[in-house]
């Protein structure tokens, strides 16, 4: 099966004229409005739920692109009220503001500057939702965004939304969308939901399988899976907002994924579409598992490129092995999955977390939600994948010992990460021991094991057997 | 076919004791190899490294450090050409390195070898690469002093009685040197073993287009049977390996020698696996250097943007996977190890460094691909080789979008762009970003799907029937 080639898209900046910019963007917006049945005078309502770095950037990019077309689209973001900005962060924020002339001018013009002076001096407590209105995301203070419409009441935010962007960590997705479903009881139209969440959970009964954020949303709200899509790809949110060239992939049913890919695409943010929702969403979670280990290795070996490559060889072979359990045609994931892994290992929150643990600057007792960084999704994903792959009902043949073993026995890095992060019986340094175990197989052997047997278990992703 | 799995290797350091037991572990490995090669008492095993680039020098030094103490059983030497002068700036830097390392300084004083470096520092004397190499200084790796080495500048004297020859030459010199070596081997009774470290390749277009690998060049030049020629590949940053960073490598070739040599070469921080697929691994070693140059360009042009690097990685890995489908019968088996090797080659290495320097304007393509202080940039000749090979119409594949036959290179936009920058020189380094940002560029996953959905394998490309 061929994926569809993207048709040539007219570049909004190709002739540099304002008219073309307006015409092209408005045209894309109109197409989406038409598809959703919006008539004149009835704006398309897009809501970002959750204000982590990527959720905030995503919403801000939409606001910047389409916010000028006020009669046709309204964009807002929900976050919980009450989160305070501590003194050190307020000081840093003040420095950021004063170092950016454009930001400083904007705040002065909107009569919104003096509260930051007061925050800097400790005379006033700032809150995350109020600074977000001015474009400051608590997890990404160094990268000011455009001003956003921030709503702290969930019902008010989502009750009439046409498109909801799930920017929550997976660990909060079910809870928040269960609340959202109360407000949607009497809805007539069915909204479209795009999820950015990368974490996963494992469900062990009646049979072991992975629960993805899109499935959580489907279960919580009853919105058909056809209307729920996953947007994945490597993303360093601040770089994407700063117009670094990036690729992403929107996965889901054909009805929505193509028009949404077109709508979301920008000159520096290319969005491809793909029909395989579940596998891409799961792989998005899997790479975060190994990103934590990569950070540990980088810190413990003082950024040794050679040690990083040893780690990469082993973790990619484990990931490939796991994809053979989860996907019917896993080879198709090899390139994109590993490329996403590349950036996740190189720079990202999960790798950063692994580095901090290894340097002793963070400890496990502090939990996996870090101030200034957000939720480290890889931690819960380690638990999910480990528990899933430990089930004896999934046993595979270990070719060395010629006996049946749980799949996790062939994934020494995953096992070690579980011991370090979850049951905490091993120190961070143990990740190096796992790598340097002379009895560890050539990672190519693991790939050959995966490819020489039929391992695919449709039930793991809830597919019909 | 499952690749063979290494048995547990006795760790020479496992009991931590210094002395007879520890030495016996190493001596035992040496004795095993000597027996296999048929060396009697009083007849030392003679190992020669040919070529003194960074990796060739480190390889010889690792062997010398490990086995050099057994003077009656083994002799290790390295050949390099005479006459290469060390320029003044390098001599000054070398003097700084020596004086900053107490162990090195003491060693030179003890061997009455120090004062020539003072003279060179002052400009009163010209040093030569071969004389400094005796003291352990490789011209391509001045910052990492090695152990003293036995350096021979006469090729006949170096190789005439060698049992094992390690090819540390660039591929562009391999054929020429081994043709000369074959003159000195005309009357040999025993057949030597040759281990090649070289990663470059050539393309031959007659009688059918195919790749010439360094091991094939050696075979053609010397008539040593392929059974005795092996390739050692893997990610290697030579200075890191010498500094005991943990590294993996793979020795590929006939079963008779590869297992014994893997065991002999293996050290606590240098794990060597064995593999029978000589040709494919050798070619892939060359392929990754092609894309490493582009990675360096992207890194420099985007100020080390992780997001842009990941976009590049997604596209270059999909091109590499596409190319492996032309070259290998079971290309998926290469996916993990190939990409892991690529990871380090893109991250840090001579070819990536070269790409960065070109992009910053500090080097130009017309300065050639041999850089003082760095050695040969193998990726440049590999770009030409792969481009020429994949441009042959006799290899046409079906272009899925336009539904017509095209040369394979048309589906490899990065390779084409690198050719235009480095070989035909009709474009500047910025073209690499343009190629990445072309909105018509397909999702890299589509390239992989194209490769996997057709039978592309062309045995003739690797000289097989």
Q: Which residue has the tokens 């029937």?
A: B465
- Give the percent of chain A with pLDDT over 90: 51
Per residue in A158-184, pLDDT tens? 999 999 999 999 889 999 999 999 999
Determine contact: A313 vs chain B, CB below 8 A. Answer: yes
Q: Hey, are the CB atoms on A447 and B236 less than 8 Å from each other? A: no
pLDDT at A214 over 90: yes
Quote the DSSP letter at residue A226: G
pLDDT at B22 over 60: no
Query: Can you tell me the distance from the alpha carbon of B224 to that of B242, in angstroms, rounded to the nearest whole number?
Result: 30
Determine contact: B115 vs chain A, CB below 8 A. Answer: no
Determine contact: A249 vs chain B, CB below 8 A. Answer: yes
Residue of A135, A147, A146, A133 lying closest to A81 (CA atoms): A133
pLDDT class for A12, splitting at 50, 70, 90? very low
Per residue in A118-127, pLDDT tens? 898 888 999 9
Specify whether the CB–CB gap between A308 and B344 falls below 8 A: yes
Q: To the nearest whole angstrom, how far is the Cα of B349 from the nearest Cα of chain A?
A: 9
Determine contact: B333 vs chain A, CB below 8 A. Answer: yes
pLDDT computed for residue B83 by the predictor: 92
- Helix residue ranges per DSSP H, B122-196: 129-134, 155-159, 171-184
Q: Hey, are the CB atoms on A331 and B448 less than 8 Å from each other? A: yes
Per residue in B90-143, pLDDT tens? 999 999 999 888 899 999 988 989 989 988 988 889 999 999 999 999 999 999
Q: Hey, are the CB atoms on A307 and B236 less than 8 Å from each other? A: no
pLDDT at A435 over 50: yes
Q: Hey, are the CB atoms on A313 and B341 less than 8 Å from each other? A: yes
Per residue in B340-374, pLDDT tens? 667 777 777 888 999 999 999 999 988 888 887 78
pLDDT at B315 over 90: no
Determine contact: B303 vs chain A, CB below 8 A. Answer: no
pLDDT class for B24, splitting at 50, 70, 90? low
Per residue in A357-411, pLDDT tens? 999 999 998 888 887 788 888 898 999 999 999 988 888 877 677 788 888 988 9
pLDDT at A452 over 70: no
Distances (CA, A) of B362 to B91, B300, B303: 22, 11, 15
Mean pLDDT across B57-84:
95
Do you know the residue count of chain A?
A: 465
Do you know the residue count of chain B?
A: 465
Query: Can you tell me the distance from the alpha carbon of B126 to that of B83, in angstroms, rounded to the nearest whole number?
Result: 11
Q: Hey, are the CB atoms on A343 and B3 less than 8 Å from each other? A: no
| A84-85/A126-127 β-pairing | antiparallel
pLDDT class for B235, splitting at 50, 70, 90? low
Domains contained in chain B, CATH given: 24-80+148-275 (3.40.50.720), 86-126 (no CATH), 278-460 (1.10.1040.10)
Residue of B167, B174, B257 lying closest to B212 (CA atoms): B174
Query: Can you tell me the distance from the alpha carbon of A381 to that of A385, in angstroms, rounded to the nearest whole number?
Result: 6
Report the residue from A301, A305, A340 with minimal CB separation from B237. A305
Determine contact: B341 vs chain A, CB below 8 A. Answer: yes
Mean pLDDT across B33-60:
94
Annotated active-site residue in A287, A356, A373, A383 = A287
| B229-233/B193-196 β-pairing | parallel
Per residue in B201-234, pLDDT tens? 888 877 788 888 899 999 999 999 999 999 998 7
Q: Hey, are the CB atoms on B400 and A447 less than 8 Å from each other? A: no
Determine the residue among B336, B349, B398, B399 to mutate to test chain A binding: the one whose Cβ has the most chain A Cβ atoms within 10 Å.
B336
pLDDT at B7 over 50: no
| A374-375/A246-251 β-pairing | unpaired
Q: To the nearest whole angstrom, how far is the Cα of A358 from the nearest Cα of chain B?
A: 18
pLDDT computed for residue B181 by the predictor: 96
Per residue in B242-280, pLDDT tens? 998 888 888 999 999 999 999 999 988 888 888 877 877
pLDDT computed for residue A10 by the predictor: 32
Q: Hey, are the CB atoms on A239 and B307 less than 8 Å from each other? A: yes
Q: Hey, are the CB atoms on B11 and A438 less than 8 Å from each other? A: yes
pLDDT computed for residue A3 by the predictor: 30
**For chain B, what is the mean pLDDT?**
85
Determine contact: A339 vs chain B, CB below 8 A. Answer: yes
Determine contact: B235 vs chain A, CB below 8 A. Answer: yes
Mean pLDDT across A59-66:
96
Residue of B nearest to A239 (CA): B307
Mean pLDDT across B153-171:
94
pLDDT computed for residue A177 by the predictor: 97
Token digits of residue B458: 């062309």
Report the residue from B437, B447, B450 with minimal CB separation from A245. B437
**Which residues on B lie below 8 Å from A309 (Cβ)?**
235, 247-248, 340-341, 343-344, 347
Q: Which segment of A288-302, A328-342, B28-42, B100-114 scores lowest on mean pLDDT? A: A328-342
- Give the percent of chain A with pLDDT over 70: 87
Query: Can you tell me the distance from the alpha carbon of B92 to that of A217, in angstroms, rounded to the nearest whole number?
Result: 66
Determine contact: B190 vs chain A, CB below 8 A. Answer: no
Per residue in B296-308, pLDDT tens? 999 999 888 877 8
pLDDT computed for residue A440 by the predictor: 65
Q: How many CB atoms lie within 10 A of CB A95?
A: 12
pLDDT at A63 over 90: yes
Mean pLDDT across A19-31:
75
Name the B residues in 432-461 with CB < 8 Å from any A CB.
433, 436-437, 439-440, 442-450, 452-453
Residue of A2, A9, A45, A18 lying closest to A261 (CA atoms): A9
Report the residue from B11, B248, B444 with minimal CB separation from A335. B444
Q: To the nearest whole angstrom, how far is the Cα of B56 from the nearest Cα of chain A?
A: 17
Q: Hey, are the CB atoms on A310 and B248 less than 8 Å from each other? A: yes
**For chain A, what is the mean pLDDT?**
85
pLDDT at B15 over 60: no
* Residues contacting A76, CB < 8 A, separation 6+: A45, A46, A47, A48, A59, A148, A149, A150, A151, A157
């Amino acid at each position: 099966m061929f994926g569809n080639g993207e048709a040539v898209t007219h570049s909004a900046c190709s002739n540099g004229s304002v008219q073309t910019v307006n015409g092209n963007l408005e045209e894309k917006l109109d197409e989406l409005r038409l598809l959703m049945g919006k008539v004149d005078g009835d704006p398309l309502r897009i809501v970002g739920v959750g204000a982590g770095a990527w959720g905030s950037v995503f919403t801000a990019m939409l606001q910047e692109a389409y916010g000028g077309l006020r009669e046709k689209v309204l964009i807002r973001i929900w976050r919980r009220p009450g989160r305070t900005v501590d003194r050190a962060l307020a000081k840093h924020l003040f420095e950021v503001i004063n170092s950016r002339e454009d930001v400083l001018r904007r705040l002065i013009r909107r009569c919104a500057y003096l509260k930051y002076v007061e925050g800097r001096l400790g005379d006033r407590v700032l809150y995350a939702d109020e600074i977000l209105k001015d474009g400051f995301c608590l997890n990404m203070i160094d990268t000011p965004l455009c001003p956003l419409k921030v709503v702290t009441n969930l019902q008010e935010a989502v009750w009439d939304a046409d498109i909801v962007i799930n920017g929550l960590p997976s660990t909060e997705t079910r809870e928040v969308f269960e609340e959202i479903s109360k407000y949607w009881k009497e809805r007539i139209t069915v909204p479209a939901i795009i999820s950015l969440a990368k974490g996963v959970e494992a469900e062990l009964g009646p049979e072991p399988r992975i629960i993805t954020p899109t499935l959580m949303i489907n279960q919580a709200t009853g919105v058909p899976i056809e209307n729920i899509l996953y947007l994945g790809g490597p993303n360093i949110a601040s770089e994407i907002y700063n117009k670094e060239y990036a690729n992403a992939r929107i996965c889901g049913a054909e009805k929505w994924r193509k028009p949404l890919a077109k709508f979301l695409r920008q000159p520096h943010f290319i969005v491809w579409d793909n029909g395989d929702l579940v596998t891409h969403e799961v792989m998005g979670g899997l790479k975060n598992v190994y990103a934590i280990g990569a950070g540990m290795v980088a810190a413990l070996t003082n950024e040794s490129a050679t040690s990083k490559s040893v780690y990469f060889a082993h973790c990619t072979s484990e990931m490939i092995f796991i994809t053979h359990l989860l996907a019917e045609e896993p080879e198709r994931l090899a390139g994109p999955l590993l490329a996403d892994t590349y950036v996740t290992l190189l720079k990202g929150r999960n790798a950063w977390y692994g580095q901090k643990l290894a340097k002793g600057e963070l400890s496990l007792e502090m939990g996996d939600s870090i101030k200034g960084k957000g939720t480290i999704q890889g931690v819960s994903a380690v638990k999910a994948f480990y528990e899933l792959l430990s089930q004896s009902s999934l046993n595979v043949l270990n070719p060395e010992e010629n006996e049946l073993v749980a799949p996790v026995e062939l994934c020494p890095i995953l096992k070690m990460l579980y011991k370090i992060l979850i049951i905490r019986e091993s120190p961070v340094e143990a990740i190096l021991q796992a790598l340097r175990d002379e009895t560890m197989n050539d990672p190519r052997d693991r790939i050959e094991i995966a490819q020489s047997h039929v391992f695919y278990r449709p039930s793991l992703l809830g597919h019909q057997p």
